[in-house]
Structure 1
Amino acid sequence: MDDMISQIEPMIPALRRYARSLCGDLETADDAVQDCLEKAVANWSRRRADNPRSWVFSILHNVAVNRLRRRSRWGRTVQLADLPDDVQIQQASQDDTLYGKEVLAAMEALAEEHRSVLLLISVEGLTYAEAADVLGVPVGTVMSRLARAREKLRNQLEKPPNIARRPNLIRVVK
């Protein structure tokens, strides 16, 4: 039991990051991580290798994808208190915050298969082989998806900002 805890516990922050980026909201992501950890503990004796990292990440990936499929069928529920403040009028934010939002929006615009590969390799630091194991695809597929994901992300971020969506913050007073 101590061996299992000592191997799984250091992975929890990375699991939470990956789940949050896949699920899009904190509560669903934390629930997915909890379900992943429960499955990992229950099936610890059936793990595939000495290093359980890719095995645990593949459990999380499958749990998160299943949650996303369920959510797409049922729709997303949001508590009234959890509505973002930008539903009402909000002042302009700083440039770095805007860029961060643009990056997150560009990530969200990627297909799930491209976003998953990009996050596993670029953020979580998995090798191509580990990412392939997590996603259940060949290493070559991981490499091509990663190249496409990076290119699509680059194209999204290089587009000029959509001025029509931004509120007019400057007024002329005569």
Structure 2
Amino acid sequence: MAVAEPPFTTAAYPEAAELLTALPRLRGYARVLRRNREDADDLVQDTLERAWSRAAQWRGVGDMRTWLFSIMHNLHVDALRRGRLDTVDLNEHTPEVPVAATQGQILVVRDLDAALAVLPAEQREVLLLTALDGLAYAEIAQTLAIPIGTVMSRLSRGRARLRGLM
């Protein structure tokens, strides 16, 4: 008796392996955007669902990671515009960031999380895509659909404001 091959295989979709390697970074970025593990997982799920529904476009995608971040960013912005996202008061909840057990390191991470929350969303997104995901300015510009000069400006202003807050 022959076993039926599952509909998802890397043989049928060679780009799927690239999609799967992007998952940890997608999860990390989603958790920073949503500040809630369940909402972040939902955002990753929605991103993958949208990407999978457009699998025919994969061959035209130059960089799968940038394309996925663009999808995630657009889904997040759409949810913000619809008012579907709940905000989290950082004074009531501890961040869901894995940290070392020392008190000093925990306090630094909490301070950084609080300072990032104060930044305008545009500056925070550019900072996170640069620092956490290591995207180049051109990739960030493509992901957020903004000019590269705007990326550099937001990054500069965001870093300066973050330094002032820290």
List alignment gaps of at least 5 residues for structure 2. Answer: 1-8, 95-101
For residues 75 and 61 of structure 1, the distance between their equivalents in structure 2, rounded to whole angstroms, comes to 14
Aligned partner (choices 112, 125, 135) of residue 121 of structure 2: 112
By percentage of residues, which structure has more helix? 1
Q: Percent identity?
A: 42
**Compared with structure 1, are the counterparts of its residues 77 and 138 closer, same or farther at alpha carbon in structure 2 (3 Å cutoff)?**
closer
Q: TM-score, normalised by structure 1?
A: 0.76
List alignment gaps of at least 5 residues for structure 1. Answer: 86-92, 158-174
Alignment RMSD (CA, Å) = 2.1
Counterpart mapping for 1:63-82 below 5 A:
63-70=75-82, 73=83, 76=86
What letter is aligned with 1:102? D
Q: Contact 2:47–2:75 at 8 Å: present in 1 too?
A: yes
1:45 is displaced (CA, Å) by 1.8
For residues 77 and 64 of structure 1, the distance between their equivalents in structure 2, rounded to whole angstroms, comes to 13
Alignment size in residue pairs: 144
Q: Contact 1:29–1:64 at 8 Å: present in 2 too?
A: no
State the SS of the aligned residue for 2:29.
helix
Which aligned segments of 4 or more residues in structure 1 are displaced greater than 3 angstroms?
Answer: none
Partner residue in 1 for 2:153: 144
What letter is aligned with 2:17? S
Q: TM-score, normalised by structure 2?
A: 0.79
Partner residue in 2 for 1:6: 17
Correspondence 1:131 to 2:140? yes
Larger radius of gyration: 1
User: What are the Cα deviations for residues 31-81 of structure 1, in whole angstroms up to 9, with x where unaligned?
Assistant: 0010000110111222453322211110011112222333xx357389xxx
